[in-house]
Amino acid sequence: MSQVPCYTIINSPDLEVPNEMQLKQDLEKGDTNHKIETLKKVIKLLLNGERYPGLIMTIIRFVLPVQDHTIKKLLLIFWEIVPKTSGDGKLLQEMILVCDAYRKDLQHPNEFLRGSTLRFLCKLKEPELLEPLMPAIRACLDHRHSYVRRNAVLAIFTIYKNFDWLVPDGPELIANFLDTQQDMSCKRNAFLMLLHADQERALNYLASCIDQVHSFGDILQLVIVELIYKVCHANPAERSRFIRCIYNLLNSSSNAVRYESAGTLITLSLAPTAIKAAASCYIELIVKESDNNVKLIVLDRLIAMKENENMEKVMQDLVMDVLRVLAAPDIEVRRKALALAMDLVYSRNIGEMVLVLKKEVAKTHNVEHEDTGKYRQLLVRTLHTCSIKFPDVAATVIPVLVEFLSDTNELAAADVLIFIREAIQKFPALSGLIIEHLIEAFPQIKSSKIHRAAVWILGEYVEGPQIIEVIDAIQQTLGDVPMVEAEQRRLSGDPTEEQSQQQGSATGGVSGDGSSSTTTSTSNAINKVTSDGTYATQSAYSLAPVAKVEKRPPLRQYLMDGDFFIGAALSATLTKLALRYVELQPDSSAQNRLTTRVMLIMSSILHLGKSGFPSKPITNDDTDRIFICLRTLSERTPEAVSVFMHYCREALGKMLDAQHDEDQRVLKEKQRATAKVQPDDPVLFAQLSNGRDNQLGENVFESSLNQALAGTKTAQLSDISSPNNKLNKVTQLTGFSDPVYAEAYVNVNQYDIVLDVLIVNQTNDTLQNCTLELATLGDLKLVERPHPVVLAPHDFCNIKANVKVSSTENGIIFGNIVYDTALNTNVVVLNTIHIDIMDYIIPASCTDTEFRQMWQDFEWENKVTVNTSFTDLHEYLRHLLKSTNMKCLTPEKALSGQCGFMAANMYAKSIFGENALANLSIEKPVDDPDSKVTGHIRIRAKSQGMALSLGDKISSSQKQSVQAA
C-alpha cells in the first residue's frame, strides 16, 4: 500500500460534522466570505479523515472561478489534500479541469498568484497533472519578478527529482538561468538544484565565481558551504581547491554562515591553523550572539572539538579567549565556559586564568542578581580545581577564597572550606598561610555550618604558638564564660563584660566620681521642639515599647538558638588543641591552666544547654560528645588521645584518596579507548564504505542520521536497523482467532512515539472503513486520527499513528478496530500498550551537595518496599541499576565488603530535564547466607508522576525477578 503524503495537521477536536448537502449549498449560494468559511471547514474535515467525493465538482464550478486571493490560497491547500485518484488508482476526470485552471493561474498577471501556484506544484505527486503545465512553468523562469522566478526554480527542481522525464534538460536549463541571474534568492534556489541534481555543473559555476563568494548573500553562501562539504568528503583531492573559500567565509557577515563554515573547516582539515581559525570563529560567535541557546549550542561544538586530542593541543592557547564568554549573564553558559577553560588550561597560562577569575570574583561583590550566588560558587569551585591541579597558584588563590567565608551564600562558603581542607592536607607548606587567613576571617563568618567546618580545620592543623591564638579567637566569638551567669546578668539588665568593654572603649574610660552614668543619662535625654519653637509634650502611656534586639557573639547566638552541634564540634576542637599544647609545653602549670580554661568552656556549654535559656535544649548525642571530650582531657588515656590526635586526620586522608581514585576512574572512562583490531576480527563492510581512510573529519550527515535513528540511546546503527531489535518492541494487540489480527511496533524517539500497526484481515469478506481508533492515558497525546482503509479478503496493511509525549510518566495507549461488512458494523477491542518510562530516563551524576539540596527541595516521595528473591546485596543493587537506568553515586569503595547492610544514593535525569533521586537501604543477616534481601527504596522527584512511575517500574522488576526465581 502506498504511503499517503504527510500534511500540516490542523487539530479541531470540537468540530461538528455537517452533511454534504449543507456544504454544497453553502459553496454554491453563499457570498465570498461565506465560501471562505465553508472551504476552511471542508479542509479541516478532510484532514480529520472525512471523505466528500461529491464536493469536488461543486468546488470546480462555483469556487474555482472566484478571483479572491484568500480563496485562491485555500484552494491550493484543498487540492493538495483531496484524494485525486479513484479506488482503482486512476486519476479523477475532474482533475483535468483543475489542471486547466492552474495553467491559467501560471499565466496570471499577478505575481503572487503565479508564485503561490508554483509552490503548490512542488507538492503534487501526479505526473499526469504536471505534464500539461510544463511549458507554463518554464515560461515563469523569465518572469520580471524574483518571487515568481525563484518558485519556478523550486518547482522544476522537485519535478526533476520526482519525474525527471518531464524535464530532461532540467540541470542545463537551470545552469543557464543561474548565469543570467542577479537576485540572491533565485541564485540560491538554482544553485541548490544543481547541488543535488548535477554537482559537476555546480562546481563549475562555483569555480568561475569563487573570488566573489564573500559578496554573495548569506542564503547562497550556506548552500555553497554545503556543496564544498559534500564534494570534499566524496573526493578528498578537491580540498585544496575549495578550502581557501571556506577560510574566507569564516569572515562572513552572517553568523549562520560562519558557524557552518567553521564546522565544515574542521571536518575537512586537522591542520593547526584550521583548528585555531574555527575555534576562534566559534568563540567570536558566542561573545557576539545575544541568544543564550545559540551560545550553548556553539559551546557544545567547542567541547566536542576538545574531545579530539589533536584539536585539544591547539585549543590550549585559546583559554583566555574562552574566558571572554564569562561576560554572558546566563549561568549555564558560564558553567560550560568555565568547565571548558578548566579542561584546556595548562601550566603556561594558568596564571593569567587565575587573574581573570579573581577579577570575576571582584565583580560579583555587591551585585544583586538571582544567579550571583550560584556564579560565586562556580568561581570558587573553578579556583579550587586550579589550585589542586596547579599547586603553584594555590598561594595566590587562598587569600581570595578566604574572603568568601563571610559571604551570605552558604554554599559558596562551604565550597571554600572544602578547598581549604583539601589544600591544607595536600600542601603542608601552605598550612601557615591558610591558618593565618582562617583565624582572621573566623569572627566574620555568618553561618553555623561554616563555623563548624572552620573550627574542625583549625583544631586539626594548628600547631605551636598559634594554639593560644586560636583559643582566644574562639573565646572571643563565644563571649563571656560561664555563659549561664552572663545570660542571667544580661536578663537582669546588668552590663556584661563585653558590654562594659564596649562602653569603656566608646567613652574613653570611667571617671572616679561616677560622671560616666551622668553622661550616659544625658545623652539619652532628647528634647523635642516643634516647628514654631515651643517644646512638645508626649504622654508616657502613648509610647509603644520598643523590643531591644540583643546582639550576642556569633557562637553564643548559635547556642542560644538551640544549635548545640556546633558546641560538640567546638569541644572536640578545643580537646585537640589542649592535647597538642600539652605535648609542646613542658611546664605543667601552663598545661593545667590551658586545660582548665578549655574544660570551663565545655562545661559552660553543657550548663547552658540544660539551663533553659536557649530556644531548644541540648540533645543527648551532643551531651555525650562533650562528656567524652571532658573525660579525655581529665584522664588522657593513650587510646583516646590517639583518636583525637591522629585518627581524624588519617580518616580525612583516606577520604581524599578515595575521591581522587574515583575522579581518576571517571576520567579514564571518559577517555576514548583506542580502536584495536585483532587479526581474527570479522570485516565490517560499513567501515570500508565510510571513507575514514581519507583522514577527513567525521561526516556530520551520517552521524546526524545515526542519532536520529538511535534516539536517546547510544546504539550502533547496525543494532538499530537489525530485525531482532524491532521484534523486541512488537506488541500483540488482538488474538490469532479474531477476525482482524493486529500487532504494533512501538518506536520511541525522544518526544515522539510512532506506532506502526499491522492489520490483517483473516476473513473471506471485504472490510469497508476499517478504522484504527486509539485513545491515551497519562501525558500522551494522539496527534492525528488514522485514516480508514479497505481490506480485501486475507489482505493486510500498515497504519502509522503518532503520539506526542510531554513528561516522564507511564502512559497507556488503548483502543479498538472498527470495520463494516456487508451485514453490520463490528468492533475488535485491542490490548493496551504500556509505554515504558525507561525510554526517557538516562543515568546522570551530581555532587553530594547537589544531591542533598535536591533531596531537600523535592516534595514528592515514593517509598517502595524491597520484595525480592536476591540473597546478595550487591547483586540486588546491580539489578536495580539495570532495571531503572539510574547511576549509583556512592563510590565502589564505600559499598565494598559484606556487613549485612547497604545504603546507596542513585540519580538519573529524563530527556525532559526532570531529576529523579533514589536512596537504597537494604540489609540481610550476615550469619544466614540463604536469607533474602529486605529493606526499602525511597524515591524523590519534583513531579508526582515521575516518583510514581519510577516506583511502579521498581515494583514490576521485583515481581519479575521473584517469578523467575
Q: 346-395 pLDDT, tens per residue?
A: 888 888 898 998 888 888 876 667 778 788 888 888 888 888 888 888 88
> 380 with 338: CB under 8 angstroms?
no
On whether both 933 and 824 belong to a single domain, the answer is no
Mean pLDDT in residue range 791-815 = 84
Question: Residues near 363 by Cβ (< 8 Å), separated by ≥ 6?
Answer: none
- State residue 625's pLDDT score: 92
* pLDDT band for position 743 (cuts 50, 70, 90): very high
Final residue of a structural domain among 835, 868, 889: 835
Residue 888 DSSP symbol:
E
Question: What percent of the chain clears pLDDT 90, i.e. is strictly above it?
Answer: 10
Question: Residues near 858 by Cβ (< 8 Å), separated by ≥ 6?
Answer: 915, 917, 940, 941, 942
At 637, list the grid cell: 588515656
- State residue 720's pLDDT score: 43
Start-to-end CA span in the chain (Å) = 46
Q: How far is CA 355 from CA 131, 350, 361, 828, in A?
A: 71, 9, 10, 73
- State residue 703's pLDDT score: 58
- State residue 642's pLDDT score: 87
* Higher pLDDT pick, 677 / 272: 272
- State residue 534's pLDDT score: 63
Kindly state whether residue 620 falls inside one of the protein's structural domains: yes
What gap in Å lies between CA 733 and CA 827, rounded to an integer? 13
Does 108 score more than 70 pLDDT? Answer: yes
- State residue 21's pLDDT score: 84
Candidates 858, 867, 836; CA nearest to 917 is 858
Does 86 score more than 80 pLDDT? Answer: no
Q: Which amino acid is at 644?
A: F
Kindly state whether residue 108 falls inside one of the protein's structural domains: no
Q: Which amino acid is at 357?
A: L
Does 937 score more than 90 pLDDT? Answer: yes
Mean pLDDT in residue range 232-257 = 82
* Higher pLDDT pick, 646 / 502: 646
Q: How far is CA 759 from CA 89, 728, 735, 771, 785, in A?
A: 21, 19, 12, 10, 16
Number of domains in the chain: 4
- State residue 627's pLDDT score: 92
- State residue 497's pLDDT score: 56
Does 938 score more than 90 pLDDT? Answer: yes
On whether both 827 and 844 belong to a single domain, the answer is no
* Higher pLDDT pick, 84 / 630: 630
* pLDDT band for position 521 (cuts 50, 70, 90): very low
Q: Which of 482-496, 747-761, 907-921, 938-952 has the lowest mean pLDDT?
A: 482-496
- State residue 8's pLDDT score: 52
- State residue 727's pLDDT score: 65
- State residue 936's pLDDT score: 92
Mean pLDDT in residue range 792-809 = 84
On whether both 745 and 872 belong to a single domain, the answer is no
Model confidence over 640-693: pLDDT tens digits?
888 888 888 888 888 888 777 877 777 777 665 444 556 766 665 544 544 444
- State residue 829's pLDDT score: 92
At 871, list the grid cell: 540473597
Q: Considering the chain, what is the average pLDDT of its residues?
A: 80
> 608 with 614: CB under 8 angstroms?
yes
Mean pLDDT in residue range 736-759 = 85
- State residue 498's pLDDT score: 54
* Owner of C-alpha cell 532628647: 526
Kindly state whether residue 711 falls inside one of the protein's structural domains: no
On whether both 820 and 871 belong to a single domain, the answer is no
- State residue 682's pLDDT score: 65
- State residue 192's pLDDT score: 86
Kindly state whether residue 62 falls inside one of the protein's structural domains: no
- State residue 731's pLDDT score: 86
On whether both 888 and 824 belong to a single domain, the answer is no
Q: Which of 46-50, 390-394, 426-430, 553-557 has the lowest mean pLDDT?
A: 46-50
* Owner of C-alpha cell 567525521: 698
Residue 873 class from Cβ within 10 Å (0-12 exposed, 13-18 middle, 19+ buried)? Answer: buried
Helix axes 483-492, 588-611, angle to 10 degrees: 50
Q: Which of 341-350, 509-518, 538-547 has the lowest mean pLDDT?
A: 509-518
Q: Are strands 780-782 and 789-791 parallel, antiparallel or unpaired?
A: unpaired
- State residue 529's pLDDT score: 57
Task: Give this prediction's pTM.
Answer: 0.68
Q: Which of 96-110, 297-311, 673-687 has the lowest mean pLDDT?
A: 673-687
Kindly state whether residue 284 falls inside one of the protein's structural domains: no
* Higher pLDDT pick, 582 / 787: 582
On whether both 884 and 929 belong to a single domain, the answer is yes
Kindly state whether residue 105 falls inside one of the protein's structural domains: no
- State residue 699's pLDDT score: 56
Mean pLDDT in residue range 441-451 = 85
Mean pLDDT in residue range 842-860 = 86
What gap in Å lies between CA 285 and CA 294, rounded to an integer? 9
Candidates 442, 552, 563; CA nearest to 499 is 552
What gap in Å lies between CA 585 and CA 718, rounded to an integer? 75
On whether both 734 and 824 belong to a single domain, the answer is yes
Mean pLDDT in residue range 286-308 = 88
Give the domain range for residue 442: 349-461
> 851 with 905: CB under 8 angstroms?
yes
Burial code (b: 16+ CB inside 10 Å, e: under 16) for 922-937 equals bbbeeeeeeeebebeb
Q: Which of 142-146, 365-369, 418-422 has the lowest mean pLDDT?
A: 365-369
Model confidence over 179-224: pLDDT tens digits?
888 888 888 888 888 888 888 888 888 888 877 787 788 888 888 8
Q: Which of 125-139, 517-531, 749-763, 893-907 has the lowest mean pLDDT?
A: 517-531
Final residue of a structural domain among 835, 860, 875: 835
Torsion of CA 196, 199, 205, 210, to 10 degrees: 100
Does 708 score more than 90 pLDDT? Answer: no
- State residue 724's pLDDT score: 47
Helix axes 218-234, 184-197, angle to 10 degrees: 20
Kindly state whether residue 651 falls inside one of the protein's structural domains: no
- State residue 726's pLDDT score: 60
On whether both 919 and 823 belong to a single domain, the answer is no
CATH of the domain at 846: 3.30.310.10
- State residue 692's pLDDT score: 40
On whether both 486 and 605 belong to a single domain, the answer is yes
Does 469 score more than 60 pLDDT? Answer: yes
On whether both 786 and 846 belong to a single domain, the answer is no
Final residue of a structural domain among 810, 835, 860: 835
Question: Residues near 306 by Cβ (< 8 Å), separated by ≥ 6?
Answer: 312, 315, 340, 343, 344
Cβ count within 10 A of residue 135: 10
Q: How far is CA 959 from CA 642, 758, 832, in A?
A: 51, 31, 20
> 842 with 921: CB under 8 angstroms?
no
Kindly state whether residue 664 falls inside one of the protein's structural domains: no
Candidates 673, 666, 660, 663; CA nearest to 843 is 666
- State residue 628's pLDDT score: 92
Mean pLDDT in residue range 485-501 = 69
Model confidence over 766-783: pLDDT tens digits?
888 888 888 888 778 888
On whether both 843 and 760 belong to a single domain, the answer is no
CATH of the domain at 831: 2.60.40.1480
- State residue 918's pLDDT score: 93
On whether both 796 and 850 belong to a single domain, the answer is no
- State residue 674's pLDDT score: 46
